């Protein structure tokens, strides 16, 4: 049914606004017939207006934007085929059931209308980050670090001394760290504002204030139960831009921000009051009116 709705809507032409509801050209024409009965464009449109109208409109608009912004390249096709293979492997014998459940007519239908657009959307997010790079690199401050967490100040100070004397950070971490989290294994990690709910506030503050590679003093939690040694390996994301772009573009907040930008760029406008109300409730940042 979802697929039928999408195909039908693509064929409809909105003529403007009367009584705050969009009207259809040739609204009495049949979309589906069965025996002596028919489903008209008007009937289909009324169903659409009351069932997932906002989601459907956003999907169609996204597809339009993707066609305009992202060309189908060999790289995109390769990634999409890899994603298709991964999904099929994960679902195994349930693959055909999955296609049927979500209303896809075939594997190719699923590929063209789900998997390929999903991959292209990720490329669009990367493009957005590239275009807004100067602002986004400051906001997200992606930084390459190595970190140790201990449960005593003595261990943290001993670890810091060994690091300053030239010992390998990972070796020191293996000796002193008490945190099982991979972030504190002494290996290099790319962190950013996205980790502010994971990293302690004093570590986040140190990273935001630091402007060059260095090793921190011992940083302690407010309750003095955790102690940290942080080595900044690199803090100029221009030097590792590709990694930083991938990190930033993967953030949920960034996805909404980017889509709002492109919806406004293409002057997305809603003429139907029911759809407009749905959009205001569920996709307010996408509206340009």
Dist. CA 53–CA 118, nearest whole Å: 20
Please, are residues 81 and 118 in contact by the beta-carbon 8 Å criterion? no
Over 90: is that where the pLDDT of 141 sits? yes
What lies within 8 Å, CB to CB, of 224 at 6+ separation is: 153
Can you tell me the distance from the alpha carbon of 254 to that of 192, in angstroms, rounded to the nearest whole number? 13
Tens digit of pLDDT for each residue in 51-106? Answer: 677 888 888 899 999 999 999 999 999 999 999 999 999 999 999 999 999 999 99
180-196 mean pLDDT? 91
Q: Is the pLDDT of residue 32 over 70?
A: no
Q: What is the mean pLDDT of residues 239-262?
A: 95
The pLDDT tens digits for 203-228 are 999 999 888 999 999 999 989 999 99
Is residue 5 over pLDDT 50? no
Inter-residue contact 42 to 24 (CB < 8 Å): yes
Q: What is the pLDDT of residue 140?
A: 95
Which CATH number describes the domain made up of 142-234? 3.10.50.40
State how far the Cα of 250 lies from the Cα of 263, in Å rounded to an integer: 19
Instruction: Tell me what pLDDT residue 27 has.
Output: 76
Q: Which residue has the higher pLDDT, 43 or 244?
A: 244
Residue 260 in this model has a pLDDT that exceeds 50: yes
Least confident of 7-21, 29-43, 165-179: 7-21
pLDDT band per the 50, 70, 90 thresholds, residue 31: low
Residue 17 pLDDT > 60, yes or no? no
Res. 6: pLDDT tops 50: no
Scored b (16 or more CB within 10 A) or e, 52-87 reads bbbebbbbebbbebbeebbeeeeebeebbeebbeee
Q: What is the pTM of this model?
A: 0.78
Is pLDDT larger for residue 45 or for residue 277? 277
| Closest CA relative to residue 176, chosen from 229, 231, 216, 214 | 229
User: What pLDDT is stored for residue 126 in this prediction?
Assistant: 97
End-to-end CA gap in the chain: 31
Domain limits, the chain: 142-234
Give the pLDDT band of residue 38 (cuts 50, 70, 90).
confident
Ranking 31-35, 102-106, 231-235, 239-243 by mean pLDDT, the lowest is 31-35
Taking Cα atoms as reference points, which of 136, 118, 87, 101 lies closest to residue 261?
136
Least confident of 50-54, 112-116, 233-237: 50-54
> So what's the pLDDT on residue 180?
67
């Amino acid at each position: 049914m979802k697929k039928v709705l999408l195909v039908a809507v693509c064929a409809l032409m909105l003529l403007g606004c009367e009584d705050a509801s969009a009207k259809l050209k040739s609204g009495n024409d049949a979309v589906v017939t069965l025996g002596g009965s028919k489903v008209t464009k008007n009937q289909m449109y009324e169903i659409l207006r009351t069932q997932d109208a906002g989601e459907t409109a956003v999907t169609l608009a996204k597809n339009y934007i993707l066609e305009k912004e992202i060309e189908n390249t060999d790289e995109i096709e390769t990634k999409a085929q890899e994603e298709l293979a991964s999904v099929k492997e994960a679902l195994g014998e349930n693959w055909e059931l999955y296609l049927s459940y979500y209303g896809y007519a075939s594997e190719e239908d699923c590929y063209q209308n789900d998997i390929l657009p999903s991959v292209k959307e990720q490329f669009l997010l990367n493009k957005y980050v590239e275009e807004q790079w100067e602002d986004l690199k400051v906001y997200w401050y992606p930084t390459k670090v190595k970190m140790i967490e201990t449960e005593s100040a003595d261990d943290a100070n001993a670890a810091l001394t060994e690091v300053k004397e030239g010992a390998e950070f990972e070796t020191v971490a293996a000796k002193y760290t008490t945190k099982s989290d991979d972030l504190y294994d002494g290996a290099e990690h790319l962190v950013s504002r996205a980790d502010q709910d994971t990293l302690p506030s004093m570590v986040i503050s140190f990273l935001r204030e630091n402007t060059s590679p260095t090793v921190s003093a011992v940083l302690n939690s407010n309750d003095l139960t955790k102690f940290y040694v942080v080595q900044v390996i690199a803090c100029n994301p221009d030097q590792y831009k590709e990694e930083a772009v991938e990190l930033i573009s993967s953030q949920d907040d960034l996805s909404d921000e980017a889509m709002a930008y492109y919806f406004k760029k293409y002057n997305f406008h809603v003429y139907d009051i029911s759809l407009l109300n749905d959009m205001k409730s569920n996709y307010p940042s996408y509206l340009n009116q």
